[in-house]
Amino acid sequence: MKVAVVGATGLVGTKMLQVLAERNFDVTELIPVASEKSIGKEVEFKGKKFKVVGYEDAIAAKPAIAIFSAGGGTSLALAPKFAEAGITVIDNSSAWRMDPTKKLVVPEVNANVLTKEDKIIANPNCSTIQMVVVLKPLHDKYKIKRVVVSTYQSVTGTGVKAVEQLMNERKGIVGEMAYKYPIDLNAIPQIDVFLENGYTKEEMKMTLETIKIIGDESIKVTATTVRIPVMGGHSESVNIEFENDFDLTELREILSNAPGVVVQDDIANFIYPMPLTAHEKDETFVGRIRRDESQPNTLNCWIVSDNLRKGAATNAVQIAEYLLVNGLL
């Protein structure tokens, strides 16, 4: 099983190599791919060094899978070239997510939509992934009418430059800025660019991707996304209105049995999800589960997940695992 990782030297690409190794994915040959300036550099995988190659050499090596984490422009340009060579692409950028001809997949939610013919598969936005893992089992039972979500997102979602900005500010060092404003001791209510409707691109991703993944256009979603000075994971305050009423004990039981979900909801002992404790874990954590007392059939909860793992690398590797186990390669 030859596996290419495109964007292998970046923050998410490095995490993908780590997750492939940790989950013991059946890699017989690793092909790390990066931009021209990184060709010839070495990356480490399972204690061995592998030289970074360009995309042409990667395609010529004919891997079964290419996991992309190199940005939307690169994905638009290169993913079709890999696909034309018969290589299955799992893409972590936003390039293909809303393309009606491409599947947008969270394995715990909708892996069953995948077929052998799918040669470019889209990995959803990090903040969408963790939310739909929790929403889907609840939708199946109670039918969701509307979701109001506010996010509190880690600087790691922006990349190395943002992590360096935060660390520099903590040390009092003036350095390169990933954001328009300081991030330490601050909260920036803008993730990605603003659109004509006043929402950011990140907020509209959450709205549109949620509907596509769950596969129900009747669900209404509205989002506010905020960058905060944390590492380890994204947090979300989620308000969910259902068509049908729920019993909180039953609802907690449903979430406890949902794949990829861990309930951390013991307020008597101050147990609830946090980025600090979600860091380097593959699960999505949910807590602060309580009824919204302002209107009927409505729930409040708090969802946290490691955005570099489940929000990116782990989800992509889980898609690859599903393809392999189900003979779809």
| pTM score, whole prediction | 0.96
Which is the catalytic residue, given 126, 139, 279, 301? 126
Which DSSP category does 313 fall into? I
Q: Is 139 a catalytic residue?
A: no
Residue 234 catalytic?
A: yes
The active-site residue, picked from 139, 234, 279, 301, is: 234
Sorted by where each starts, the structural domains of the chain and their CATH numbers stand as 2-124+312-325 (3.40.50.720), 127-306 (3.30.360.10)
Per-residue pLDDT of the chain (329 residues; tens, 9 = 90+): 999 999 999 889 999 999 999 999 999 999 999 999 999 999 999 999 999 999 999 999 999 999 999 989 999 999 999 999 999 999 999 999 999 999 999 999 999 999 999 999 999 999 999 999 999 999 999 999 999 999 999 999 999 999 999 999 999 999 999 999 999 999 999 999 999 999 999 999 999 999 999 999 999 999 999 999 999 999 999 999 999 999 999 999 999 999 999 999 999 999 999 999 999 999 999 999 999 999 999 999 999 999 999 999 999 999 999 999 999 99
* b/e per residue 122-158 (b: at least 16 CB within 10 A): bbbbbbbbbbbbbbbbbbeebebbebbbbbbbbbbbb
For tokens 């592998």, what's the residue?
50
